[in-house]
Amino acid sequence: MRVDIVSIFPEYFAPLDLSLIGKARANGTLRLAVHDLRTWTHDVHRTVDDTPYGGGPGMVMRPEPWGEALDALAPGELSPDGHTLPRLLVPSPAGVPFTQALAHELAAESHLLFACGRYEGIDQRVLDHAATRMPVTEVSLGDYVLFGGEVAVLVILEAVTRLLPGVLGNAGSLDEESHAHGLLEAPLYTKPASWRGLDVPEVLRSGDHARIDRWRRDESLLRTAARRPDMVAALAPEALGERDRAALDRAALDRGGFSSPPGDVAK
C-alpha cells in the first residue's frame, strides 16, 4: 500500500519509523511519504492560512497550496512510476465515524492520501474540487476537537496498517479482538495465577474450553452492556442466543433495569 501525508508539521510523523509500522515500511509492505504543505507555497512567508469569509473565530487554510499539493500527489493521468489514483482522507470533527469496518475498507485500497488540516480547517473548495477527481472521505475519530488532523492520521494509519497482509504476525489475533464481533472483548489475564491477593478467575485455569468460551462470551456481553449500550442495541437479533439473552437480562437487572421485555409495568 502507498500512503502520502500532507501536513504543515511533518515532524509529527516521526513515530511512523518505529515498531510494526516501521517494519512494514522497511520491508516494503507500506510505502509512506510525508510532505510539507509549505512546499506548495510561493510567498516569502509561506502562508497557508487566511481569515474566514463570513467572519468567525480563527483562520482557515487557503486553497492554493492544497490545490497544488493534490495536483502533485494525485495527478489525473497515469504517470510512468505507475502511481494509482488515491483515496483522499481528511480528518475532521465533521467527518463520518472512523470504525473498524472503515479501517478494513481502507486496508483494501492501494493508495491513501491524507490531508491534515490545522486552525479551523481547510477551505471547502479544496475538498469539492478533489472530489471531481478522486474519492474523498472526511473522517472523525470521535466527538472532540484536536489542534489538527495529524494525530488522527497516526491513529487511522495504525488501525489500517495492522490489517495489511503480513504485518501482524499472528493472523488469528485479528478476529478475536474487540469490535470484530460487535462486542467488547472479555478481560485478559496472564501469569502469575495470584498477584497482590487477586486471583485469575478459576474457569480460565480449568482447561474446560467450552466453559471458558461461555465465560468469555458472558463477560463480553456484561461489559458491552455496561459500557456500550449503543453496541448492544445495534446487534442483529440472530447474533444473540438464549444464553446470551439471559446474560444480558442479568446485567440489566444488576443495573436496576427491567428483565426483557419490560411488559405492562407502570401503565
Binding residues vs ligand JAH (CB under 6 A):
91-93, 117-118, 121, 140-142, 145-146, 148-149, 152
Residue 4 or 150: the one with the smaller Cβ distance to ligand JAH is 150
Using alpha carbons, list the distances in angstroms from residue 223 to 7, 86, 141, 173, 248.
39, 39, 22, 20, 10
The Cα–Cα gap between 31 and 181 comes to 30
Residue 52 or 93: the one with the smaller Cβ distance to ligand JAH is 93
For the bound state, the minimum distance from the C-beta of residue 4 to ligand JAH, rounded and expressed in Å, comes to 18
Phi, then psi, of 56 in degrees rounded to 5:
115, 170
- Which of 150, 114, 118, 137 is closest to 4 using CA atoms? 114
For the bound state, the minimum distance from the C-beta of residue 8 to ligand JAH, rounded and expressed in Å, comes to 11
Buried b / exposed e over 135-150, threshold 16 CB at 10 Å, is ebbbbebeeeeeebbb
Q: What is the DSSP secondary structure assignment for residue 238, as one 8-state letter? A: G
For the bound state, the minimum distance from the C-beta of residue 229 to ligand JAH, rounded and expressed in Å, comes to 22
For the bound state, the minimum distance from the C-beta of residue 152 to ligand JAH, rounded and expressed in Å, comes to 4
Between strands 111-115 and 2-7, the pairing is parallel
Between strands 49-50 and 60-61, the pairing is antiparallel
For the bound state, the minimum distance from the C-beta of residue 5 to ligand JAH, rounded and expressed in Å, comes to 14
- With CB atoms as reference, the residue minimizing the distance to ligand JAH is 117
Residue 137 or 220: the one with the smaller Cβ distance to ligand JAH is 137
For the bound state, the minimum distance from the C-beta of residue 266 to ligand JAH, rounded and expressed in Å, comes to 40
Residue 118 or 223: the one with the smaller Cβ distance to ligand JAH is 118
Sheet holding 2-7, edge to edge: 31-36, 2-7, 111-115, 87-97, 136-140
